[in-house]
A and B are shown apart, each in its own frame.
Chain A
């Protein structure tokens, strides 16, 4: 089986996603497969599970395994500050003053945490492609995780629509420039110049089209990876109780509605009488130990059971 590029863990809050992601990454690395373990959960506890101090810079846990906790707030602030800086440089002085509150508002708009998580995931995936590592991601609880997983498709769809609209604008700009020459209204705002700059009508030279195409390319590539169960394993972590089972089923349905698949299911803290419904058969069952394993040495106790998942999720073997 070709190793996946990304393995993502999610589930109901408190189900043991982080412990399972850490145990999987350790077992993966112990089998000689390099991995990058990253937490995209704003309420990180990957460092607590591994017994290490983690931050946004990856550090080595053991040979072949690096780990990090993404700083999603800093990622969001970075976008806002970059936009402010560029607007300050390119816009007229008076426009800049009125733009800054709008940029702040956009920075706090719904969808920003999902975009920050996706941006980090794309950067990490680009990095692990260079180093041949498998990216193991500890996602937030399923309610937020499926939004993150659906985000690249949503962004690609919007950018494709906007690119079409932009193309129509550029076509009209070209006709106006041709018909009216220097009287064409398709000019940049007058920055105190007698003759304002003529705007391009060439798609390849238009910076807005360039940005949209870059978003389409990057988000499209991640969306295709997430929809390919050979390249991205989406692993659900469930508990043997009614609420966790219902949430896992909702996650499975929502992923399916967005063209993705719950590739594998791990049942955590299972007791002797624990039962799962037929549509949610777990690949691996972890017994209830009364406490979660902490640190690489204790997590090694899960090595053998994780080997079952590493050999390939049951949905890919059918």
Chain B
């Protein structure tokens, strides 16, 4: 019985680790997509090709979160590998 209990606990921990890692990766992907969306909308300021600027004026009032993500990504831009490694728990 004790052995079965150990196996059950081990499986629970494995599920928790894998689940945590998967949700971390998903959160990273989610943030990157929000960052990309904000970059595309603010392309005249970022210097990349994008949709007509009038669309940005219409969307900006509803894009505060995406802009916060964009600014955070710009702030952390000098350490992209650190960000990536911490997300995937490489080190």
Interface residues of B (CB under 8 A from A): 19, 23, 26-27, 29-31, 33-34, 36-37, 40-42, 44-45, 50-65, 67-68
Partner of A211, one of B26, B37, B53, B59: B59
Secondary structure of the B contact surface, majority rule = helix
Partner of A79, one of B42, B54, B64, B67: B54
A55 at the interface (CB under 8 A from B): no
For A186, the chain B residues whose CB sits under 8 A away are 30
Is there an interface contact between B67 and A172, defined as CB atoms closer than 8 Å? no
Partner of A155, one of B26, B55, B60, B67: B55
Is there an interface contact between A188 and B33, defined as CB atoms closer than 8 Å? no
Partner of A172, one of B26, B51, B53: B26
A260 to chain B, nearest CB (A): 18
How many residues of chain A get a CB closer than 8 Å to chain B's CBs?
52
11 additional contacts, CB 8 Å, given A83-B61, A111-B52?
A107-B53, A107-B57, A109-B53, A110-B44, A114-B52, A159-B51, A169-B30, A179-B23, A180-B27, A199-B65, A211-B58
For B55, the chain A residues whose CB sits under 8 A away are 155, 158-159, 162, 215
A103 at the interface (CB under 8 A from B): yes
Asked, given contacts A79-B54, A168-B33, whether A106 binds B44 with beta carbons under 8 Å apart, the answer is yes
Q: Mark A185-217, 1 if CB is under 8 A from B, else 0.
A: 111110000000001000000011001100100
Instruction: Tell me the bound Cα distance from A174 to B45 in angstroms.
Output: 30
Is there an interface contact between A189 and B65, defined as CB atoms closer than 8 Å? yes
Is there an interface contact between B37 and A162, defined as CB atoms closer than 8 Å? yes
Q: Would you give 17 A-B contacts (Cβ < 8 Å), ordered by A?
A: A83-B61, A86-B60, A87-B60, A110-B44, A112-B52, A114-B52, A115-B52, A162-B37, A162-B51, A165-B37, A165-B40, A168-B33, A176-B27, A180-B23, A189-B65, A189-B68, A211-B58
